[in-house]
């Protein structure tokens, strides 16, 4: 083929062959490979690293200056494959059965391959976008971004001056519901709020009877947290998602989705939907899970104090005080709760680029509908939001309905259909062409 750029699936296979398991990461060789592709194609690049072997790469496809820069970012580190049994070696970049196999194919070297293919193609074809396209290849997303997104945002914010929109991971994959196909585009995410509850009671010698002590309170608190959800909250972004879906799915699913938006009905409908509604539950509530218990030192001493670590994930617009008040409603006021770590995110998404992204996907896959997604976890989007940059999860993949995307991430036999990598590269290329900057006023 007479091409001056590579096919995205071939790029992906090469990226998989660098073992960037984090920890330790060692992203440098993978980043150097990407650097060589870009410089060969005529890009100027900048490598920035907080620690040796933990490089980040930045480059720009120069635009016409008619629009603010648009940021494409993604991470090249991956999670461990230890104790997993794979059908193909996880770092071989095997192509079999129309799929590329290996750690990172979905999360997210597949996305990096799509972005690289799109930007190399634009350069090769001489296409000049309305604004600069900034490409940021990051290290260290999987263990918190200290050497990656946080390092760049804190130490090199000048690299992102004037950028207001970005695309990154967690979005552009299909959700199948009641026989309809939707593409979820992440526009918002939950905020981490880690808490510590302290339970107190009389201590003493374990040879004597004890009722109602700290251990008994622990049992009661754990049961209460297991039995009840925190209160329902309907955010505009979730309303938009559910209304869009409700309008096109057949009965009775249409009414059920609509009823999720009535706070008096929400929990009842979630119970009725069961596993089919599991993805909506964390979008409609702050969520808390008890994860660590500490208490008791000796077999014959009744502890007078037990601490319980609570991992709470708050909806945008809510703060730690709201979460604590909601938890007190369930477990009572006498238990002390304090914040051990919290990371605030933006209160609401900026939706200006959404319609452009939705149109690209709906045209590429006729009959599908794009919906905004609130991610129940957190991503590098929260870090870039500190610079006023709104991230959209947009790594488009037209996966078949029997391909369980979420289950394959971080798991054995992570793989991606070749067709999906090509679909994503084309969609991102479309974005690069259609981005005009007028989205800023939307
Ligand atoms: Zn990822």
Total domain count, the chain: 2
Output the CA 323–ligand 1 centroid distance in Å.
Answer: 27
Answer whether residue 181 is part of any domain.
no
Residue 360, domain member (yes or no): no
User: 233 lies in which domain range?
Assistant: 191-343
Q: From ligand 1's centre to the CA of 275, what distance in Å? A: 24
Q: Which residues contact 226 (CB under 8 A, 6 or more apart)?
A: none
Residue 187 near residue 351, CB atoms below 8 Å: yes
314 shares its domain with 252: yes
Instruction: Please give the distance, rounded to the nearest whole angstrom, from the Cα atom of residue 274 to the centre of ligand 1.
Output: 27
* One domain, residues 399 and 330: no
Which residues, in sequence order, are bridge partners of residue 343? 192
Residue 409 CA to ligand 1 center (angstroms) comes to 9
- Examine residue 131 and state whether it is found in any structural domain, yes or no: yes
Q: Specify the CATH number for the domain of residue 383.
A: 3.40.630.10
Report yes or no: 85 and 73 within 8 Å, Cβ to Cβ: no
Say if 149 falls within a structural domain.
yes
- Tell me the CA–centroid distance for residue 157 and ligand 1, in Å: 22
Residue 353 lies in a domain: no
Q: Are residues 159 and 195 in the same domain?
A: no
Report the chain's terminal Cα–Cα distance, integer Å.
41
Residue 46 lies in a domain: yes
My answer on whether 163 and 201 are in the same domain is: no
Residue 198 shares a structural domain with residue 81: no
pTM above 0.95, yes or no: no
Residue 75 C-alpha to ligand 1 middle, in angstroms? 7
CA 108 to ligand 1 center in whole angstroms:
5
Is 84 among the domain residues? yes
Cα 238 to averaged position of ligand 1 atoms, centre (Å): 23
Residue 256 within any structural domain of the chain: yes
Distance 18 CA to ligand 1 centre (A): 16
295, 387: one domain: no
Q: Do residues 101 and 207 share a domain?
A: no
| 75 and 213 within one domain | no
Give pLDDT tens digits along the chain (442 positions): 446 678 999 999 999 999 999 999 999 999 999 999 999 999 999 999 999 999 999 999 999 999 999 999 999 999 999 999 999 999 999 999 999 999 999 999 999 999 999 999 999 999 999 999 999 999 999 998 999 999 999 999 999 999 999 999 989 999 999 999 999 999 999 999 999 999 999 999 999 999 999 999 999 999 999 999 999 999 999 999 999 999 999 999 999 999 999 999 999 999 999 999 999 999 999 999 999 999 999 999 999 999 999 999 999 999 999 999 999 999 999 999 999 999 999 999 999 999 999 999 999 999 999 999 999 998 899 999 999 999 999 999 999 999 988 889 999 999 999 999 999 999 999 999 999 987 776 6
Q: Three-state SS string across the chain, please?
A: CCCCCCCHHHHHHHHHCCCCECCCCCCHHHHHHHHHHHHHCCCCEEEEECCCCCEEEEEEECCCCCCCCEEEEEECCECCCCCCCCCCCCCCCCEECCEEECCCCCCCHHHHHHHHHHHHHHHHHCCCCCCCEEEEEECCCCCCCCCCHHHHHHHCHHHHCCCCEEEECCCCEEEEECCEEEEEEEEEECEEEEEEEEEECCCEECCCCCCCCHHHHHHHHHHHHHHCCCCECCCHHHHHHHHHHHCCCCCCHHHHHHHHCCCCCHHHHHHHHHHHHCCCHHHCECEEEEEEEEECCCCCEECCEEEEEEEEEECCCCCHHHHHHHHHHHHCCCCEEEEEEEECCCCCCCCCCHHHHHHHHHHHCCCCEEEEEEECCCCCHHHHHHHCCEEEECCCCCCCCCCCHHHHCCCCCCEEEHHHHHHHHHHHHHHHHHCCCHHHHC
- Domain match, 85 and 162 both: yes
Judgement on whether residues 32 and 132 belong to the same structural domain of the protein: yes
Residue 260: predicted pLDDT: 98
Domain boundary among 343, 361, 392: 343
Q: Which of 296, 320, 343 is the last residue of a domain?
A: 343
Residues 75 and 116 in one domain: yes
**Boundary of a domain, candidates 297, 318, 343:** 343
Q: How far is the CA of 289 from the centre of ligand 1 (A)?
A: 23
- Tell me the CA–centroid distance for residue 106 and ligand 1, in Å: 8
**CA of residue 127 to ligand 1 center, whole Å:** 29
Q: At what angle do helices 354-364 and 418-434 cross, to 10 degrees?
A: 140
Q: Please, what is the Cα angle at 164 between 131 and 191, to 5 degrees? A: 150
Q: Do 228 and 311 share a domain, yes or no?
A: yes
Q: Which CATH number does the domain housing residue 243 bear? A: 3.30.70.360
């Amino acid at each position: 083929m007479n091409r001056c750029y590579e096919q995205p699936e071939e790029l992906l296979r090469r990226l998989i062959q660098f073992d960037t398991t984090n920890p330790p990461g060692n992203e440098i060789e993978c980043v150097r490979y990407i650097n060589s592709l870009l410089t060969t194609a005529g890009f100027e690049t900048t490598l920035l690293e907080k620690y040796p072997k933990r490089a980040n790469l930045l480059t720009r496809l120069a635009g016409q200056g008619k629009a603010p820069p648009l940021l494409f970012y993604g991470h090249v580190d991956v999670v461990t494959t230890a104790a997993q049994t794979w059908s193909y070696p996880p770092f071989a970049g095997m192509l079999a059965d129309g799929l590329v196999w290996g750690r990172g194919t979905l999360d997210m070297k597949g996305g990096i391959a799509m972005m690289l293919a799109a930007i190399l193609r634009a350069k090769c074809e001489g296409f000049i976008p309305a604004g600069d396209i900034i490409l940021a290849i990051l290290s260290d997303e999987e263990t918190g971004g200290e050497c990656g997104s946080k390092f760049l945002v804190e130490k090199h914010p000048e690299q992102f001056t004037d950028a207001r929109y970005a695309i990154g991971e967690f979005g552009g994959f299909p959700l199948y519901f009641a026989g309809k196909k939707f593409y979820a585009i992440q526009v918002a995410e939950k905020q981490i709020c880690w808490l510590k509850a302290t339970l107190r009671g009389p201590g003493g010698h374990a040879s004597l009877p004890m009722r109602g002590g700290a251990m008994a309170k622990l049992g009661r608190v754990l049961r209460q947290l297991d039995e009840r959800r925190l209160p329902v909250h309907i955010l505009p972004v979730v309303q938009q998602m559910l209304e869009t879906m409700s309008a096109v799915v057949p009965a009775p699913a249409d009414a059920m989705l609509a009823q999720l938006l009535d706070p008096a009905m929400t929990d009842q409908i979630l119970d009725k939907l069961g596993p089919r509604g599991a993805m909506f539950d964390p979008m409609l509530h702050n969520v808390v899970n008890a994860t660590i218990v500490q208490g008791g030192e000796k077999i014959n001493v009744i502890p007078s104090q037990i601490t319980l670590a609570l991992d709470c994930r708050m909806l945008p617009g809510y703060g730690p005080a709201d979460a604590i008040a909601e938890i007190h409603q369930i477990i009572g006021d006498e238990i002390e709760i304090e914040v051990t770590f919290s990371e605030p995110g933006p209160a609401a998404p900026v939706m200006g680029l959404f319609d452009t992204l939705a149109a690209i996907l709906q045209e590429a896959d006729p009959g599908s509908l794009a919906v905004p997604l609130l991610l129940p976890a957190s991503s590098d989007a929260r870090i870039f939001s500190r610079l006023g940059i709104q991230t959209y999860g947009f790594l488009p993949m037209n996966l078949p309905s029997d391909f369980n995307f979420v289950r394959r991430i971080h798991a054995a036999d992570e793989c991606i259909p070749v067709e999906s990598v090509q679909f994503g590269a084309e969609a991102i290329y479309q974005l690069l062409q259609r981005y005009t900057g007028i989205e800023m006023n939307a």
